[in-house]
Amino acid sequence: MNGIFITFEGPEGAGKTTIIQLLQEKFAQRKGEIVFTREPGGIKIAEKIREVILNKEHTEMDARTEALLYAAARRQHLIEKVIPALDEGKIVICDRFVDSSLAYQGFARGIGIDNVYSINEFAINGVMPNVTLYFDLDPEKGLERISRSTIREVNRLDLEKLAFHQKVQEGYRLVNERFKDRVEIIQADQPIEKVMQDVLDILKKYMVV
C-alpha cells in the first residue's frame, strides 16, 4: 500500500464532518487523488450496517453486538474502498476509524479497550492510519452544537446520557496516549476557519495542501 491513510476522530459535534466538507470543497479538483469517506459507512453494505447500529429504535442492542457490527462494517469498507485506494497510491481521509471503537465500545460501553482492539485486529488485519487528527472538545459543547443543528439527524448514540459521552472523552484520552506516535490533537473549540487552518498545517506534512 503506497497511499496515505488519514483518520479524523473525536466526540459528537466536534466538527469533523464540517472540516471534511471544507476539505472536499478545497480539493474538488483532485478527486482522482484524494478519497473522502466515513465510518460506519462509505460503501453500500457498511451504510446498511450503519442504519442498523444507529437506528434509535434499536435500544435493546447488546454492547458486544454493537462492537462486532462496527468491526464488520470496518472490514467491508477497508476491503472494498480503503485498501484499493491506498494500493493505487491515493490519499484516504476517513471520518472515524478504529479509535472510535476503542473509545466508545471499549471504554464507554465497558467492554475493555484490549478486548475491542482484539476483534478489530481481526477486521483490519494490520491496516492502521498514518496519522489521526483528534478533534478535542468537551462533550457538553459538542452535544450543545448538535442540539442546535437543523440538518444533522439525531442517532441512537447521540441519545446516550452526558455521562456516557464523558466516558467516551476519557476513553479517547487513553487511546490517544497509547497511539501518541500517530495522533495529532486539534483544538476544536475555535472558529471553524482557525480549526481548518490547524488541520491544513498538519495535513501538509503528509500531502500537498
Ligand X SMILES: Cc1cn([C@H]2C[C@H](O)[C@@H](COP(=O)(O)O)O2)c(=O)[nH]c1=O
Residues 6+ positions from 109 with CB-CB distance below 8 Å: 63, 66, 67
- Binding at 70: pick from ligand X, ligand ATP, none (beta carbon under 5-8 Å per type): ligand X
Residue nearest to ligand X (CB): 104
Nearer to ligand ATP, 3 or 15 (CB): 15
Which span (23-31, 99-107, 135-143, 183-191) binds ligand X, by CB under 6 A?
99-107
Contacting residue, 75, 77, 90, 96, with ligand X by CB under 6 A: 96
Min CB(204)–ligand X separation in Å:
25
- Binding at 149: pick from ligand ATP, ligand X, none (beta carbon under 5-8 Å per type): ligand ATP
Min CB(169)–ligand X separation in Å:
13
Nearer to ligand X, 32 or 60 (CB): 60
- Binding at 154: pick from ligand ATP, ligand X, none (beta carbon under 5-8 Å per type): none
Min CB(34)–ligand ATP separation in Å:
18
Considering the rule CB under 6 A, would residue 70 count as an interface residue with ligand X?
Answer: yes
3-state secondary structure the chain: CCCEEEEEECCCCCCHHHHHHHHHHHCHHHCCCEEEEECCCCCHHHHHHHHHHHCCCCCCCCHHHHHHHHHHHHHHHHHHHHHHHHHCCCEEEEECCHHHHHHHHHHHCCCCHHHHHHHHHHHHCCCCCCEEEEEECCHHHHHHHHHHCCCCCCCCCCCCCHHHHHHHHHHHHHHHHHCCCCEEEEECCCCHHHHHHHHHHHHCCCCCC
What phi and psi values does residue 181 have, to the nearest 5 degrees? -70, -25
Nearer to ligand ATP, 83 or 175 (CB): 175
Min CB(87)–ligand ATP separation in Å:
28
- The footprint of ligand X (CB under 6 A) covers 12, 38-40, 70, 96, 100-101, 104-105, 155, 157
